[in-house]
Structure 1
């Protein structure tokens, strides 16, 4: 790899025998946005690519968590025209295309499926910086042409860019007419987890775990070892999962996230969760098979032997340069890889597990494994006017549920989503969500106007909703207005406790009658064991078992999210 410069933009080159590939990467991505403007980077990327499609070669743009990249594979003249056109569009975005590209992004979002760890950023970080990766592009309706121009002027500058080329030279005549600016660091991560390792309930078909560690080659080895353990235990031995995988993803701030995933065969949630936690516990105590470490190392060695390995590393090296991380060559990486021991992998896993977050199937918990339930409610509620289970004050809004509450303070409101029918959705920085529905809550217009005024700076008006999607008062869950991190209701709790109390009474009755029948110490009180006694004892014990199982199922079925 060689380093050069084009118009003040650092350039990385790696030799390549195929058609030249060029990319222009900027240090700006989804984590740099805010919820009211969520999607602005992606929107500007689309605007910059408009009119660049008149080529016979492959071109693309991508907006990731911390970087945005424009790429083209083709002839040198095409690369010169493509990158020059992208830079010109970033200097003066085609705002006349704003509505058309906004519509395209909505269609793209409708066909996009979430990743295996889609929910974890919200639970770990809340609704800011890295937590934004969970959220859809909620700000699209609000973004104006002036917003787009200001975003381009702030982030898409020569000091915040790196050019990379797979080829033996920089194309003749290539110019990158970008404005001056400054290098932008990645944001410091926020936190919505007071205690780790923690867990929360997700959908029924997956178990997911992630944790944060200092960035190193050891982390990639750990991910490989973890994947082998999960696949062997959950797929090959138990047969309760089809997919079991793990990944290692640098975060851009000197740390990386190790993520593990397993899907669940229907009806096997308990078994998969137990097997998954067993694998984590095995690594925690240091039971790491040296053969697994050697196998992961050998697989990495095979990738290093690929003649195009330097080309494949170019985009990552561009991001490393933008984020101040070292640019290691293949031989340096190979040397670090060979130095990794099983003890190093164990130490890395202890760091990951200490910051761990576990997504368990709906209706399950992980307290038994040493994980703490992530917060699903707020520590306090506001004091003010009450409208059903909603409380509105000058400081914020709370939704009361049993002995808990969800609260969004106006000064900590990340976004207020507003609908023409009067529906509102307030999301706090911690990810706690409150929904206000006129069809469910008796909030008078003047109170709604006060709420709107308090959150006007972060309000995003949405198009009219389909009437069928508006909650109806008769719907069973209509009175539960808190959103994604709402606390559980009390119905299952009360029912579960009553069932367990009844089971205890039945058990005591069965035990007492068994003792009376079996006790022959006093002839005058001797009760013979006959068919009637046997039936009575059997009924008592059967009732105890049935009520006990029913009570446990009610308590385990309480949703945490």
Structure 2
């Protein structure tokens, strides 16, 4: 069995694979740009371009969609050949001349979409692993939708939505007539380089929804795909079927870049079952890492994966993954080559993947340490500064807390530790009309500079911050309701490092 046919449409690499029967034509246009290519201050820029590109299609019976992921944007359509041609031509026409008169409306739509979007159990892990940039931006709001201009949106589209940064796939034996996918020339954009906010792994953090969630970075491989299935089944068997501790216990495999993938495992828990779920979860991981894997577990995972080749249109079904691999530079396997790799995977290969997962793991557990399992606590505080430079402003809520505003950084000092955000390492500064400034560092630590909470924090001292933070990091925020402006609480003695909202008036942490 061969892979797809490769051709070209208007300079865009194109993959074709026929389908059996007379069903609809399905096609997709990928661009190598996503949320991880943005900055925290411009987050949502790619999503805005996607929405603007689709606006002219309006209300239609045609089945179409657009999506923005970490490293790619995808426009997909299903219909007759004529409808597919009209859709793809319309997308490219809009990308050449974005309807920026719709910008204000689309920004509101995106903010509404964001407010109603459910956040998965692993939504905090990216910022703890990567910080407030690159792949870590998946944890953050789309701040760019608050302030991005028409010029910024046009420039982004002209740089990233080009024919040299795209791949087209069509579930058909031929290219439909009438396609006009003319786009400006550009270049194939490299994938974002991973950053790190973790000094060591495996690491852990506490909190979350009460369940256990873990992710790790492994090499992309057929063995890793099978391992994800084995881990998923082992968690389900031990935590749900045998222990009755969890309802949902699962593991997924998601390519991150050309050479690496993210494995994410999750198990939910009721409050009274949390200790059992944490222990059982880590026991399963330890068993697989030790190589205690039955051949039957591997064989079952392999059999499930091979079922993808049982349908009549397996080549067409694989087109999106083929196209995405072509876009990101990952080698494509023919179906026969993939089957051969599946057959060659051994239990020892799975043990190696389990070791990679453990060595790179970040686990979030409900309110308890797991250092007994070899995990190190993720940093709760910045590296201490003996005598933070600048003026010192005492907290109105606690004599033990102060804020230093210096020429190079702001530092929050508490009895438990310090948080520092350097101006030259500021991913975004949220600027509020009432005078507050919230600085988010590349390492994802946050210092909230609230004039209501600190003594002598005058406009002149705030001007020091404004002058030092790069203009590209500034995010103008809407006016806050008076009830949202923090006021000093009853005076307190100390603070827990990862408050993350626990104290409204004094809130260090990441976020």
**TM-score between both structures, scaled by the size of structure 2:** 0.92
Report the 3-state secondary structure (helix = DSSP H, G, I; strand = E; otherwise coil) of the residue aligned with 1:344.
helix
Change (3 A) 1:560 1:76: closer
User: Aligned residue for 1:369?
Assistant: 373
**Which residue of the partner structure matches residue 12 of structure 1?**
15
**Match among 222, 226, 230 for residue 225 of structure 1:** 230
Shift of 1:484: 7.3
Q: In structure 2, list runs of 5 or more residues that go unmatched.
A: 395-401, 504-508
Moved runs in structure 1, 4+ residues, more than 4 A? 475-488
Q: Which residue of 1 aligns with 2:84?
A: 79
More displaced stretch, 253-262 vs 433-442? 433-442
What is the CA–CA distance in structure 1 between the aligned matches of 2:284 and 2:491, rounded to whole Å?
Answer: 39
Q: What is the count of residue pairs matched by the alignment?
A: 490
Cα pair 1:200 1:374 within 8 Å, conserved: yes
C-alpha change, 1:150 and 1:12, in structure 2 (3 Å) is same
The one-character-per-residue Cα deviations of 1:345-385 (angstroms, maximum 9, x if unpaired) are 00111111111111111x21111111000101101333221
What residue number does 2:458 align with?
444
Among 180, 187, 203, the residue aligned to 1:182: 187
Deviation by residue 1:218-256 (Cα, 9 ceiling, x = unmatched): 111110111111111111111111100001111123111
Return the offset for 1:466: 2.5
Q: Is the 8 A contact 1:47 1:93 kept in 2?
A: yes
Q: Which residue of 2 aligns with 1:244?
A: 249
The more displaced of 33-42 and 414-423 is 414-423
Change over 3 Å in CA distance of 1:27–1:475 after alignment to 2: farther
Matches within 5 A, 1:214-293: 214-293=219-298
Deviation at 1:195, TM superposition (A): 0.6
Please give the alpha-carbon distance, in whole angstroms, between the structure 1 residues aligned to 2:483 and 2:287.
49
- Alpha carbons 1:215, 1:250 under 8 Å: kept: yes
CA positional deviation for 1:487:
12
What's 2:447 paired with? 434
1:480 Cα deviation after fit:
6.1
- Asked if the contact 1:390–1:398 (Cα under 8 Å) also holds between the matched residues in 2, the reply is yes
- 1:472–1:478 contact (8 Å) kept in structure 2: no
CA distance in 1, matches of 2:323, 2:94: 22
| Counterpart in the other structure of 1:505 | none
SS at match of 1:109: helix
| Structure-2 separation of matches of 1:481 and 1:272 | 25
**Is contact 2:380–2:498 with CA below 8 Å preserved after alignment?**
no
The residue correspondences of 1:494-509 to structure 2 (distance < 5 A) are none
> Partners in 1 of 2:238 and 2:510 — Cα distance?
28
Find the aligned partners of 1:483 and 1:357 in 2 and give their Cα distance.
16
Question: Which residue pairs with 1:386 in the alignment?
Answer: 392
* Distance in 1 (alpha carbons) for counterparts of 2:491 and 2:342: 56
Distance in structure 2 (CA, Å) of the matches to 1:477 and 1:11: 63
Among 321, 332, 337, which residue is 2:337 paired with? Answer: 332
Q: Is the 8 A contact 2:217 2:361 kept in 1?
A: yes
Shift of 1:202: 2.4
Question: 2:71 matched to which residue of 1?
Answer: 66
Equivalences for 1:31-46 in 2 at 5 Å?
31-46=36-51
Alignment of 1:291-310 (within 5 A): 291-310=296-315
C-alpha RMSD of matched pairs (Å) = 2.0
- The higher-RCO structure (CA 8 Å, 6+ apart) is 2
Check 1:282–1:134 CA distance in 2 against 1; reply closer, same or farther (3 A cut). same
Match of 2:320 in 1: 315
For the 8 Å contact 2:10–2:180, the answer to whether it is kept is yes
Tell me the distance in 1 between the aligned counterparts of 2:493 and 2:56: 47
1:386-465 aligned at under 5 Å gives the runs 386-388=392-394, 389-442=402-455, 443-455=457-469, 456-465=471-480
User: Could you say if the C-alpha distance between residues 262 and 82 of structure 1 is closer, same or farther in structure 2, counting changes exceeding 3 Å?
Assistant: same
Q: Please give the secondary structure, in 1, of the residue aligned with 2:427.
A: strand
Q: Which stretches in structure 1 are left out of the alignment for 5+ residues? A: 489-558
Instruction: Point out the structure with max Rg over C-alpha.
Output: 1
CA–CA distance in 1 between the matches of 2:492 and 2:445?
Answer: 18
Q: Distance in 2 between matches of 1:169 and 1:146?
A: 38
Taking a change above 3 Å as real, the CA distance of residues 178 and 481 of structure 1, as seen in their structure-2 partners, is farther
Query: Normalising by the residue count of structure 1, what TM-score does the alignment of the two structures yield?
Result: 0.84
